[in-house]
Amino acid sequence: MTGLLDRPTMAVPPSSRPRSTTVAVVGNDVIPLPGPAPEPDDAEIGRRFATGDEQALALAYQRWSGQVHGMAVRAFGPGPDAEDVTQQVFVSAWTGRAGYRPEAGPLPAWLVGVCRHKIADTWAKRDRQRRLAEAAAADAETRPAPAARPLDAAVADRLLLLDELDRIDQPQRGIIELAFFEDLTHTQIASRTGLPLGTVKSHIRRTLERLRSRLEVDGAAALHA
Amino acid sequence: MQQHCTPEDLALAALGEPLPAGDAAHLADCRACTDEVASLRRSVDALAVPAFAATGSAVAPPPHVWAAIAAATGVESGPAAPPTPAVPAAPAAPVRPAAEAPAPPAEVVPLRRMRSRLLLAAAASLVVGAGIGAGAVALRDDDGDDEAVVALAGAQLDPLGENSASGEAEVVERPDGSRVLRLELDADSPQEGYLEVWLIDTAVEGMVSVGVVGAGTEELELPPDLDIGEFPIVDVSVEPLDGDPTHSGVSIARGQLA
């Protein structure tokens, strides 16, 4: 399986005349939400998502797929790869919804976290495919295969670091995410969170040291491919 | 020379924050402090990338992405309206002391396999109980062939998801006892890959590949012992050219023989 061809759906341009449907096997038509129900707020969607309310998945998609897809597009450019990531994020979030706890944070932040994992996974997959292709090319030319090149360092680092981030408790995790992903300075983080400046600084230091340790300890283990 | 920077300041330097002039001057000259910053910066460089930023602009995914998610999850509720590009940025996780970090989501099985399974499972819930009209319905062959062709079963194929493919399928028995699946498919050629026809059982667990087709009218000979009562669902899928003989999970049209 090439993966690159493993696309979620093929875009089949509309062509045929509309037909009335008599066989009840169409499983995934988009069905409009019934009635003018009041729009649930984000927290409500998060709670309902966690309990497996199917409509909450649709609402979450409606509200946050743009954010998720924006990240995927920044990683892979517009097109099938980005669409595949966005699809994976929502499918994986839905099937893994037991791992989402509304009391620990809003659903969109969790979805964005899932998206980072999917992007990192896809980067790693592409990197592996590129190495395989290079090895195959070398083989075809009956040249000695180049020494097995490890995963691109940044690609491997990201997999490890995202995993480590998931293990970090609050408030440390939220603090470092504001620094990494929202580009806030420590003074901005202190004012956003209401935590003392010194506390923010020391959490940042300890978290960066922790992440560095993870890279030092498990850096080689990242080559599980 | 000023004494070494504090570990906290070195961490901030690794994040790219400017240090007070005195510290900055020391850092510029001190090998130990510079090395410390460089080693801490590896994490920053790996994670603080645009694709991971929570603040970038939103991009609305094309409609077929939702269709694929609905198919993979079996969720039938749809978004009330297509998401607009102006979706506000997702807020960052609030920092709450003592709050437990959410566990990472369960790692999913490879998408392709899961998609097939779930898609088919979703279809199963809709076709279970529908049953198949037992026995052969002897109809005149529409084509008016001289041969006495007997129509055994037929199905209208309806589009799945965002697809506009549709068609009709008919199983007919030829005078020599062989059976063919006649397919009249109204579909565009896939941009990549090819179209494959399957007969699937009502439990949507087993399936038989009947052949590769294009749009238009095609006849596919069925294996002699294949029980179409056991595999009554006619499914047309788009298959990538990836050498994987299993169903891609991307069905464009489907119907049940009766």
Q: Look up the ipTM and state it.
A: 0.74
Q: Which of residues 71-100 of A touch B (CB under 8 A)?
A: 71-75, 78, 82-84, 86-88, 90-100
Q: Mark yes or no for CB contact A171/B97 under 8 Å.
A: yes
The answer to whether the Cα torsion of B164, B108, A160, A182 is positive or negative is positive
Structure tokens of B202?
A: 């009502």
Domain that holds residue A141: 42-223
State pLDDT tens for residues B26-36: 999 999 999 99
Is the residue at A78 inside a domain?
yes
**Pick among B19, B37, B69 to test the A interface (most A CBs inside 10 A):** B69
Integer Cα distance of B241 and B208 in angstroms: 19
* Candidate from B89, B101, B240 with C-beta closest to A169: B101
Q: Mark yes or no for CB contact A31/B78 under 8 Å.
A: yes
Residue B184 Cα, gap to closest chain A Cα (Å): 13
* Alpha-carbon torsion angle B182, B184, B188, B193, nearest 10: -10
Integer Cα distance of B169 and B153 in angstroms: 8
Range among A121-135, A195-209, B102-116 rated most confident: A195-209
Quote the percentage of chain A above a pLDDT of 70: 75
Is the residue at A2 inside a domain?
no
Is the residue at A201 inside a domain?
yes
* Chain A residues lying within 8 Å of B72, measured CB to CB: 87, 91
Lowest mean per-residue pLDDT among A64-68, A176-180, B125-129, B232-236? B125-129
Is the residue at A189 inside a domain?
yes
Q: Mark yes or no for CB contact B46/A94 under 8 Å.
A: no
pLDDT of residue A40: 87
Taking each helix axis as running N to C, give the angle between helix A107-140 and helix A153-167, from 0 to 180 degrees, rounded to the nearest 10: 150
Q: Mark yes or no for CB contact B43/A212 under 8 Å.
A: yes
When comparing pLDDT for B88 and A219, which is higher?
A219
- Say whether pLDDT at A25 is over 70: no
Lowest mean per-residue pLDDT among A65-74, A90-99, B108-117? B108-117
* Candidate from B79, B100, B159 with C-beta closest to A58: B79
pLDDT under 50: residue ranges of chain B: 81-146
Is the residue at A115 inside a domain?
yes
Q: Mark yes or no for CB contact A32/B78 under 8 Å.
A: yes
| Contact between B114 and A88 (Cβ < 8 Å) | no
The DSSP result for A167-225, as a single string, is HPPTTHHHHHHHHHHS---HHHHHHHH---HHHHHHHHHHHHHHHHHHHHHHTGGG---
CB pairs under 8 A between A and B: 391
Lowest mean per-residue pLDDT among A11-20, A129-138, A191-200, B185-194? A11-20
pLDDT of residue A218: 83
When comparing pLDDT for A38 and A214, which is higher?
A214
* Overall domain count for chain A: 1
| Contact between B202 and B124 (Cβ < 8 Å) | yes
State pLDDT tens for residues A48-60: 999 999 999 999 9
Find, in chain B, the residue whose alpha carbon is nearest to that of A114. Answer: B105
Is the residue at A69 inside a domain?
yes
* Chain A residues lying within 8 Å of B62, measured CB to CB: 11, 83
Residue B69 Cα, gap to closest chain A Cα (Å): 6
Q: Which residue, chain included where needed, has tokens 């062709």?
A: B149
CATH of the domain at A187: 1.10.10.10
Residue A27 Cα, gap to closest chain B Cα (Å): 6
Please give the mean pLDDT across all residues of chain A: 81
Structure tokens of B180?
A: 């063919």
* Chain B residues lying within 8 Å of A182, measured CB to CB: 53-55, 92
* Chain B residues lying within 8 Å of A8, measured CB to CB: 64-65, 68, 111, 115, 250
* Chain B residues lying within 8 Å of A95, measured CB to CB: 73, 106, 108, 114
Is the residue at A109 inside a domain?
yes
| Contact between B256 and A13 (Cβ < 8 Å) | no
Q: Which helix (H) or strand (E) holds A121?
A: helix A107-140
Is the residue at A16 inside a domain?
no
Lowest mean per-residue pLDDT among A158-167, A168-177, B170-179? B170-179
**DSSP-based three-state secondary structure for B109:** coil
Q: Mark yes or no for CB contact A8/B62 under 8 Å.
A: no
* Candidate from A1, A25, A178 with C-beta closest to B127: A25
Integer Cα distance of B96 and A66 in angstroms: 27
- Please report, for chain A, how many H helices and E strands are present, in that order: 8, 0
Q: Mark yes or no for CB contact A208/B127 under 8 Å.
A: no
Integer Cα distance of A113 and B103 in angstroms: 11
Q: Mark yes or no for CB contact A19/B52 under 8 Å.
A: no
| Contact between A115 and A73 (Cβ < 8 Å) | no
pLDDT of residue B72: 92
pLDDT of residue B214: 82
Work out the average pLDDT over A177-185.
Answer: 94
When comparing pLDDT for B12 and A218, which is higher?
B12
| Contact between A122 and A75 (Cβ < 8 Å) | yes
pLDDT of residue B56: 83
Phi, psi of A221 (to 5 degrees): -70, -10
| Contact between B246 and A4 (Cβ < 8 Å) | no
Distance of CA A51 to the CA centre of its chain: 21
* Alpha-carbon torsion angle B161, B167, B173, B179, nearest 10: -50
Distance of CA B109 to the CA centre of its chain: 13
* Chain A residues lying within 8 Å of B87, measured CB to CB: 63-67
Find, in chain B, the residue whose alpha carbon is nearest to that of A105. Answer: B93
* Chain B residues lying within 8 Å of A219, measured CB to CB: none
Integer Cα distance of B61 and A218 in angstroms: 36
Q: Mark yes or no for CB contact B8/A202 under 8 Å.
A: yes
